[in-house]
Copies of this chain bind each other. A is one copy, B any other.
Amino acid sequence: MAPARARGGIDLGGTKIQAVVVDERHTVLGQARSPTPTKGGPADVAAAMAAVMREAAAAAGLEPAALTHVGVGSPGTVDAAQRAVSSAKNLPGWAGSYPLAEQLGEALGTAVALGNDVQVATDAEAALGAGRGYRSMLGVYWGTGVGGGIVLDGRPWLGRGGAGEIGHVVVKVDGAQCPCGRRGCMEAYAGRNALEARARELHDKGEPTELFKIARKRGRERLTSGIWAAALERGDPLATKLVDRAVAMLGAGVASVDNVLDVEVIILGGGLGVRLGQAYADRIAAAMAPHLFFSDRPPPVRVAALGDLGGAVGASLLPPP
């Protein structure tokens, strides 16, 4: 018999949509994933989300309508009150506002709650993962960009709805161009999009690297976290140089944020963070050391424990709307 109080969670990413069905104790009963549509608009993305959620529910032996509700961790600006998502710039045709909660809710026959993707992943780590037992934490999501989630005194800190943009802490005034259009942001040195653009530029200028060869072999157009990890393992000089710089800049930027917040623990997540793992969490901790104001009691840097499912499980923690 299906659990009476199962709920769904969807992590809406720029590359993939991950859905889970969990029981009250957060045990994953079913899951599914599919690539995020790269064409069309919000309605197409919502349809794909509904399909993935149905698949996860089927894997759990449930109809979506039997779920108490479905939580969604979304990029862009989430207006939880308006139940809409806007400015999701890494999703197709989603510059404006789209009533995602209503549309997805109708398609699934259950209520839908919206949250920020990074914040729900942080909340999941705080409640169930590497942040358990800590009252304050900073989640550092090192992936396509660099996102941040904040928990203070046991509760998420959202500011006026836009807190946690740690990727856009300026680590070098007048520094490198960031994908956001500004200059010198931590993400301009550490985000995977920025790393790929720089690798392409230097490779075109003649610097040797196997990054693009590995990508071709794997049939990938973009340099995924796995490709970076493979190149680093082989000692690829360009990959090593760029990731060394990313680690140095993450050290300066995350230490800066910790000088402001003074949290108990830092959790490293995101595609690159999870893939590169504790060895790189340790390297980031070492890179933070010279910049920490209270250098005699640095916060531990731990890898996110929920891995790839953290975002979807975190979304399932959102309260019903």
Residues on A facing B (Cβ under 8 Å): 136, 148, 150, 152, 157-166, 168-173, 180, 182-184, 248-249, 252-253, 255-257, 259-264, 290-291, 293-294, 297
Is B256's CB under 8 angstroms from A168's CB?
A: yes
In the complex, A157 Cα to B155 Cα: how many Å?
13
- As for how many copies of this chain the complex holds, the number is 2
Is B297's CB under 8 angstroms from A169's CB?
A: no
CB distance from A53 to the nearest CB of B (A): 30
CB distance from A132 to the nearest CB of B (A): 18
A sample of 6 inter-chain contacts (CB < 8 A) reads A136-B159, A162-B294, A168-B259, A168-B293, A170-B253, A260-B261
Is A260's CB under 8 angstroms from B150's CB?
A: yes
Is B163's CB under 8 angstroms from A261's CB?
A: yes
Report chain B residues within 8 Å CB of A180: 293
Is B152's CB under 8 angstroms from A157's CB?
A: yes
Residue of B nearest to A159 (CB): B262
CB distance from A110 to the nearest CB of B (A): 31
In the complex, A180 Cα to B295 Cα: how many Å?
12
Name the residue in A159, A180, A260, A290 with the highest tally of chain B Cβ atoms < 10 Å from its Cβ.
A260
In the complex, A263 Cα to B150 Cα: how many Å?
14
